[in-house]
């Protein structure tokens, strides 16, 4: 059996981190146990992921003990990638993205 490459492990860590962020985006403030159950990761791995995400500001401790929530640093990233639909005539819609300046008049 061939050991996973460093690149494979890096991608795996990113996929797991995204899963944690997705759970927090869907549920709001949640415990590591809840996040673990939703992602299928062991609780110890979930705590490690949460610590790493907190280190870059993408996750922060919630108001209630033991809870985590999306951090303030993740908001600009979400806004840059937010996709919306706007009417462009008739029953058709045009997809667009929000620019960092949040100018949605275009």
Instruction: Return d(Cα 31, Cα 33) in angstroms, integer.
Output: 5
pLDDT category at 102 given cuts 50, 70, 90 is: very low
**Contact predicate 39/19, CB 8 Å:** yes
Query: How large is the greatest C-alpha to C-alpha distance in the chain, in angstroms?
Result: 58
pLDDT higher than threshold 90 for residue 7: no
φ and ψ at 104, to 5 degrees?
Answer: -100, 15
What's the pTM value of the predicted model, to 2 decimals?
0.66
pLDDT category at 8 given cuts 50, 70, 90 is: confident
**Contact predicate 28/69, CB 8 Å:** yes
**Contact predicate 52/68, CB 8 Å:** no
pLDDT of residue 49: 95
């Amino acid at each position: 059996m061939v050991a996973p490459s460093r690149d494979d492990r890096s991608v795996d860590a990113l996929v797991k981190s995204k899963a944690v962020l997705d759970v927090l985006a869907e549920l709001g403030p949640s415990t590591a146990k809840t996040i673990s159950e939703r992602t299928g990761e062991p609780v110890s791995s979930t705590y490690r992921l949460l610590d790493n995400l907190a280190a870059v500001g993408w996750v922060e401790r919630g108001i209630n003990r033991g809870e985590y929530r999306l951090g303030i640093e993740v908001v600009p990233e979400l806004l840059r990638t937010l996709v919306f639909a706007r009417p462009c005539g008739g029953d058709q819609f045009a997809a667009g993205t929000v620019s960092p300046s949040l100018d949605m008049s275009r």
